[in-house]
Amino acid sequence: MAAIKVHGSPLSTNTLRVLATVYEKELDHEFVLVDMSIGEHKKEHFLSTHNPFGQVPAFEDGDLKLFESRAITRYIACEYADKGTQLIYQDSKKMAITSVWMEVEGQQYEQIAAKLAWELVYKPLLLGMSADKAIVEENEPKLAKVLDIYESRLAQSKYLGGDCFTLADLHHLPTLHYLFGTQVKKLFDSRPHVSAWIADITARPAWLKALALQSQE
Amino acid sequence: MATPVKVYGPPMSTAVSRVLACLYEKNVEFELISINMSKGEHKKPEFLKLQPFGQVPAFEDESISLFESRAICRYICDKYADKGNKGLYGTNPLAKASIDQWLEAEGQSFNPPSSTLVFQLAFAPRMNIKQDKVVIRQNEEKLSKVLDIYEKRLGEARFLAGDEFSLADLSHLPNTQYLVSGTDKGNLFTSRENVGRWWDEISSRDSWKKVVDLQKGA
């Protein structure tokens, strides 16, 4: 039985973030499906054992239990630094820059991208409801401004943290994937460096393995 | 002699004060360079070179230039590991993982509703911006749910990540300070026994008192 367990759903962006990391590091693990359609993640057992916020993913490595996808990926990248893909820099200056762009993803990009993904993808898919136009119209220009900054950054640097693919890039994959299937795609396509970066990171075998779990449902 | 560490931004900014608290905890000397946001200094080209999103803080240390307060704090803890509060970001990987978990909880779950309330209740009036009662109510509800979770957690542990004060607790200081001392929503914290106890303890730290003094003097 694997010491590493990832609890979540393959449809969840936050779960996919952790799965992509586990695959990049080529780690033996068990994926434990949490049935969100019946509210398993809101039940007392899940709240007290895995994540008091009632969210996925949750993570185990032996006795260690963690929640918050970005804390989990950091832990994996550090603890298993010598396995699979290097996802963080050992050099502290380079790591500091990578850390900046990890925060940019979590604080600037995701806050807007997640709202758009919810309106344009999850609401129709899971609830059969249509998008709230006002929310979409408010957030598309905000995302465009963030992507302008990404365009400048990626004109100077192949990946967000520097020359190498790191967690700073990986963290974007799940929401990017969903937004690519919507009208928001044009915002990425119209920015050449952003577009090239997306083409590069979405082609990674580890990401494709994580996505493949969606078809296994 | 010029101090290598520079922080750009007004101390009244919650994100700036997060970095200042960390620098005081670590006993790292710094120079605070004021940015006049009411005059749009943070949107000018020279500043955008330091912080492309036009936000505060920006940070420099010797040859490195950083932004995003939580990234800056992690950098300070890493670079100055042997100074000041050595356990602020954990002294082993398991402690660090727990701190990262609660730092992410702060950034993803606590910060959005609390910073919206800080803006609506503490800053909007000063800026002659009309308060949005619906937004206030929605975010008070969201924050209450988060604080219920914190109440349970702080009944199990003295601080969020465990027995010791950490970067995870520190990260909550700026928004909470405004809500408790500058608005009528302080009861969200003080009416919850464990959260109230935790707030009293973390806000009494010398490092935070120094930040509050800076905010008052600005």
Whether the predicted pLDDT of A129 surpasses 70: yes
* A130-148 mean pLDDT: 97
d(CA B8, CA A120): 38
CA distance B68 to chain A (A): 6
Residue A61: Cβ within 10 Å count: 21
The chain B residues in contact with chain A (CB within 8 A) are 52-53, 63-64, 66-68, 70-71, 74-75, 78-79, 93-94, 96-98, 100-101, 103-105, 107-109, 112, 146, 149, 152-153
H runs (alpha helix) in B80-183: 93-105, 111-118, 133-156, 167-170, 173-182
Q: DSSP of A148-211, one letter per residue? A: HHHHHHHHH-SSSSSSS--HHHHTTHHHHHHHHTSTTHHHHHTSHHHHHHHHHHHT-HHHHHHH
What local confidence, expressed as pLDDT, does residue B47 receive? 97
Least CB–CB distance from A92: residue in B68, B79, B101? B79
Whether the predicted pLDDT of A126 surpasses 90: no
**Chain B residues touching residue A134 (CB < 8 angstroms):** none
What local confidence, expressed as pLDDT, does residue B118 receive? 98
Q: Say whether A102 and B71 touch across the interface (CB within 8 A).
A: yes
Predicted-complex ipTM score: 0.96
Least CB–CB distance from B68: residue in A53, A66, A107? A107
Q: What is the mean pLDDT of chain B?
A: 96
Q: What is the mean pLDDT of chain A?
A: 96
The fraction of chain B above a pLDDT of 90, given in percent, is: 95
Give the nearest chain B residue to A66 (CA atoms): B101
Cβ atoms B117, B183 nearer than 8 A: yes
Q: DSSP of A5-34, one letter per residue? A: EEEE-TT-HHHHHHHHHHHHTT---EEEE-
* A141-167 mean pLDDT: 98
Among the listed residues A16, A5, A6, the one whose alpha carbon sits nearest the alpha carbon of residue A213: A16
pLDDT digit string (tens) for B35-54? 999 999 999 999 999 999 99
Least CB–CB distance from B107: residue in A74, A97, A106? A106
Whether the predicted pLDDT of B63 surpasses 70: yes
Which residues, 6+ apart, have CB-to-CB distance to A157 below 8 Å? A163
pLDDT digit string (tens) for B189-217? 999 999 999 999 999 999 999 999 999 98
Best probe of the A interface among B14, B49, B101, B139, by most A CBs < 10 A, is B101
Cβ atoms A34, A88 nearer than 8 A: no
Whether the predicted pLDDT of B1 surpasses 60: no
User: A78 is written with which tokens?
Assistant: 């550090």
Residue B193: helix, strand or coil by DSSP?
helix
**Chain A residues touching residue B63 (CB < 8 angstroms):** 93
Q: Where does the pLDDT of residue A179 fall: very low under 50, low under 70, confident under 90, or very high at 90 and above?
A: very high
User: B173 is written with which tokens?
Assistant: 């200081």
Least CB–CB distance from B100: residue in A52, A75, A96? A75
Residue B14: helix, strand or coil by DSSP?
helix
How many A/B residue pairs have CB atoms within 8 Å? 80
Cβ atoms B100, B165 nearer than 8 A: no
- Can you say how many angstroms the Cα of residue B202 is from the centroid of all Cα atoms in its chain? 12
What local confidence, expressed as pLDDT, does residue B3 receive? 74
First to last CA, chain B: 24
